[in-house]
Amino acid sequence: MATEKPTNWRGMAVVGALMLGAFAFNTTENLPIGILKLISDDLGRSLSAIGLLVSGYGLTVAVISVPIAKVTRSVPRRLVLCALLAALFLASLVAATVPSYWALLAGRVVTAVAQALFWAVMGPVAVGLFPPRVRGRVIGALSVGGSLALVVGVPGGTWLGQHTSWQLPFLVVGALAIPSLIVIATALPTSHPEEGHAARGVAPDTRRFAVVLAVTALTVTGAFAGYTYISNFLVDEAGFAESTVSTLLLVLGVTGIVGVAVYGQLLDRFPRATLTLPVTTQTVALLGLYTAGTSQTVAVIMLMFLGASLGPVFMATQSRVMHVAPGRTETAVAANSAAYNSGVAAGALTGSLLLPLFGARGTFLVGGLLTAAALLLLLEEQFLSLGREARWTGLGGARKGGGMIAGP
C-alpha cells in the first residue's frame, strides 16, 4: 500500500508541532541554570550538585545520540515522536512533583535520552514532508523553535520560578509536549523511516561528513570556552554594571534568532556560504572580544556578531550532514548533535581551566583560535571540492570533444 502523501497544511502543522517540541526540550535542558539556587535551597544540595543536572544532561545527549538513533531506525517515526513527547511530559511531571534530588536527576536523564532521539529524527521527518528544494527553509524553521528557548523559555521559566516555586516551570514546559504530541499523532502520515527522499544523504561523502562533524565540535568548543564566562567578561573586562548583563544577553539571544531566521531562508540557495559566513563571524567575534572587548561599544558589536553566529552554525551543519550523510540521515544528525553537546562540555571545561590562568579574556582568545581552525578546515574542504568539480567538468568537456585524458 502506498504511503499516505501529506497535504500542505498537515506538513505545516507537523513542523509547527516539532518547533514547539524543540522549544520545550531546549528550555527543559537549560531551565535549571536560571533557578539553580532555588532548587539547591529547597532540596538541600550544593550548587555543584544541582549544576550536574545541566552538565550531566548534555553529556547524556552526547553519549546516547548515535546508539539510540541506530536502535530505533526501523520504528515508525510517528510512534517514536509521540513516545518521546510523552516521555518529556511524564519525566517533567515526576521531576516537579516528587520532592527528591534523585527523582529530579532521574527525570533529567530520561528527558535527555528523549531529546537525543528527538533531535535525530525531527529534521528528517520534517524535511520529508516537503519538496527537496525547500529543505533548508524547513531546517531553519525548526532551528527558530529551538533558539527561542534561550531567549524566551529560560528567562520566562526563571521569572516564573522566582515568583512561585522552582517546580512550576518544569510542569509548564513539560505540558507544552501535549499539544505537540496531539498534532503529530493526528497530522503526521504513517510511514517507515526508510521511505522518502530525506531518509538518506543527497550526495553521500564520508570525508565531507567527517569535516562537518569536526567543524561542529571545534566551533562549539570555541564558542563555549568563552561564552560560559561571558558574564564575568562583561563586568570585569568591559566594565558593564551587573544589572545590565541580562539585557546584553537578551541582545545576544535576539540576534541569534534573527540570524537563524535569515540564514534559514538562504540555506537552499547558498549551502556553502551559509556555513562559512557564520563560522567567520564567530571567529571575528571571539577574537574581537579578546583584542578590543574592553571597549563597551566594541563589546556590544562583537556580542551581536557572536549571537548571530552560534545558532546559524549549528543549523547549517545540521543541513549539511543531511546532504552528505554516508548512511541514514537520522544517524548523521545524531552524530552532529553528539558533536555539539561534546563541544559544549569540552568548551566549558576548557574555559574553567583557562579562567584562573588567563582570566576571561584568555578564554575568548582560545575560543577564537579553535573557531579559526574550524574555518580553515572548512575552507580547505571547499577548495578541494571546487577543484574536484572543475576536474570533472574539464573531464566531461574533453570527452565530449573526443580527446584523451591521462591520469585520474
Q: What is the pLDDT of residue 387?
A: 63
Q: What is the pLDDT of residue 405?
A: 30
Per-residue pLDDT tens digits for 162-205: 889 999 999 999 999 999 999 999 998 876 655 566 667 678 88
Q: What is the pLDDT of residue 158?
A: 85
Name residue 152's amino acid: V
Contacts of 155 (CB under 8 A, 6+ apart): 34, 246, 250
pLDDT band at 388 (very low <50, low <70, confident <90, very high): low
Q: What is the pLDDT of residue 392?
A: 52
Contacts of 353 (CB under 8 A, 6+ apart): none
pLDDT band at 7 (very low <50, low <70, confident <90, very high): low
Share of the chain above pLDDT 70, in %: 90
Q: What is the pLDDT of residue 356?
A: 86
Rounded to whole angstroms, the Cα distance separating 329 from 269 reads 21
Contacts of 7 (CB under 8 A, 6+ apart): none
Q: What mean pLDDT comes out for the span 336-346?
A: 89
The radius of gyration of the chain's CA atoms, rounded to the nearest angstrom, is 22
Q: What is the pLDDT of residue 198?
A: 66
Helix axis angle for 206-227 and 273-292, nearest 10°, is 30
Report the predicted TM-score, pTM, of the whole model to 2 decimal places. 0.81
pLDDT band at 31 (very low <50, low <70, confident <90, very high): confident
Q: Is the pLDDT of residue 138 over 50?
A: yes
Q: What mean pLDDT comes out for the span 321-343?
A: 87
Query: What is the 3-state composition of the chain as percent helix, strand, coil, each rounded to the nearest 5?
Result: 85, 0, 15
Q: Side-chain half-sphere of 340: how many Cα atoms within 13 Å?
A: 23
Q: What mean pLDDT comes out for the span 39-46?
A: 87
Q: What is the pLDDT of residue 196?
A: 62
Q: What is the pLDDT of residue 195?
A: 57
- Average pLDDT score, the chain: 85
Q: Which of residues 93 and 151 earns the better pLDDT score?
A: 93
Contacts of 159 (CB under 8 A, 6+ apart): none
Q: What mean pLDDT comes out for the span 293-301?
A: 91
Rounded to whole angstroms, the Cα distance separating 302 from 289 reads 6
Per-residue pLDDT tens digits for 205-238: 899 999 999 999 999 999 988 887 888 888 888 8
Q: Which of residues 401 and 140 earns the better pLDDT score?
A: 140
Residue whose entry in the numeric block shows the C-alpha cell 551559509: 274
Instruction: State the cell numbers at 152.
Output: 524566551
Return the minimum-mean-pLDDT range out of 2-6, 25-29, 327-331: 2-6
What's the gap between Cα 299 and its chain centre?
Answer: 24
Return the minimum-mean-pLDDT range out of 21-30, 107-116, 241-250: 241-250
Rounded to whole angstroms, the Cα distance separating 162 from 149 reads 18
Q: What is the pLDDT of residue 5?
A: 47
CB atoms within 10 A of CB 239: 11
Distances (CA, A) of 275 to 12, 216, 245, 260, 315: 26, 10, 29, 11, 9
Per-residue pLDDT tens digits for 77-135: 899 999 999 999 999 999 888 888 999 999 999 999 999 999 889 988 988 888 888 88
267 sits in which H/E element: none
Helix axis angle for 8-34 and 77-97, nearest 10°, is 30
Residue 81: which of 136, 33, 31, 129 has the closest Cα?
Answer: 129
Residue whose entry in the numeric block shows the C-alpha cell 575552507: 379
Q: Is the pLDDT of residue 403 over 50?
A: no
Beta bridge partners of 200: 328
Among 145-154, 336-345, 361-370, which range has the highest average pLDDT? 361-370
Q: What phi and psi, each to the nearest 5 degrees, are found at residue 200?
A: -135, 160
Q: What mean pLDDT comes out for the span 304-327?
A: 89
Rounded to whole angstroms, the Cα distance separating 5 from 17 reads 18
Residue 193: which of 322, 78, 79, 73 has the closest Cα?
Answer: 73
Q: What is the pLDDT of residue 118?
A: 95
Residue 172: which of 147, 153, 148 has the closest Cα?
Answer: 153
